[in-house]
Copies of this chain bind each other. A is one copy, B any other.
Amino acid sequence: MARKLINNPNDLVNELIEGYILFNSSKVKRLGDLNVIIRADLPVKDKVGIVIGGGSGHEPLFLEYVGKGIADAAVHGQIFAAPSPDLTYNAIKAVDSGRGVILLYNNYAGDVLNFNIAQEMAADEGINVQTVLINDEISSAPKERMEDRRGTTADHLLFKIAGAASGEDMDMDSLVRLLRKAVYNSRSLGVSLSACSLPQTGFATFTLEDGKMEFGMGLHGEAGVKKVDLMSADDTAKTILDYIIDDLPFKKDDEVLVVVNGYGSTTRMEMFIVTRKIYSYLNGKGISIYSAEVGEFCTSQEMAGVSITLMKLDAEIKKYYGCPV
């Protein structure tokens, strides 16, 4: 049973937000007492608004992606649960400057249901709201049913690109087109080495026997697509990359962004060992890395494991992603 440093389990999301806002009060503020985090300098005049969000428990998603140059607002559901429509509706209203708002979020059934209701509510008031769904996780459905795939770590890249592009006076239609292209160019797959628990209860949401690992594990503890004996870091990286490269497919001379994401308890040492293999393997395939990011971007409590994301670049995406880190 996982032990967590918390107070009343019912206050988790509220206290997360309170703590984050205290820590970051020059950059962000809270919308009333809702689980909605907005830029401190809202409303930003004459800019398409970017609202992101989803279930809590995946920190730094989503609240840490709000600020100048990134998203304008993040709505937080309870742990692993889609945020209710009233939050998103209020976020849309706070963010809209007349040029419309993009809802940019991960393609989970619960999220889609709830965001759609909010979108309708806002549309009823004449606000132009468009949706861009993130569906980078390749194990969640075959390529023929890409619209059923869920979203994961591509978030990190998309939020940055959306923030940069919307900050440069791009209009709604161009933005939606750019973001859909960037989503399409993104593919992720991960591997889990241990279970994660619900912080409210401490109970693991699944079990993984000693010496096993699971490919395609969900961020919420949904079991993955195949369970195998624990593999080396190199073989793991290679296996994940083979699936990803094959899926888009990524080709020789493609230029890519790479994200190496830790799910929770995986150490940076392990992440860099995986990163090492990614560099040599992509290099061998003639795929060049424009920039890589290594860290925890899309977590699942104390789950051990990593996911790898590749995003194929073109001049436009590159411009808004910015310089190599």
A interface residues with partner B (beta carbon < 8 Å): 1-7, 12, 15-16, 18-20, 22-23, 26, 56-57, 59-60, 64, 191, 193-194, 199, 210-211, 213, 230, 232-234, 236, 264-277, 279-280, 292, 294, 296, 299, 301-302, 304-306, 324
Q: Is the CB of B3 within 8 A of A269?
A: no
Known A273-B15, A275-B23; contact A265-B6, beta-carbon cutoff 8 A: no
User: How many chain copies does the complex carry?
Assistant: 2
Residue from B7, B299, B324 in contact with A273 in the complex, judged by beta carbons closer than 8 Å:
B7
Residues of B contacting A210 with CB < 8 Å? 1, 3
Contact call B270/A22, Cβ cutoff below 8 A: no
Given A23-B279, A57-B269, A59-B269; A5-B199 close (CB under 8 Å) = no
Q: How far is the CA of A275 from the CA of B19 in the complex (A)?
A: 6
A289 to chain B, nearest CB (A): 9
Tell me whether B279 and A232 are in contact (CB under 8 A).
Answer: no
Contact A23 B292 (CB under 8 A): yes
How far does the alpha carbon of A1 sit from the alpha carbon of B212 in the complex, in Å?
A: 12
- Residues on the B chain within 8 Å of A324, using CB: 26
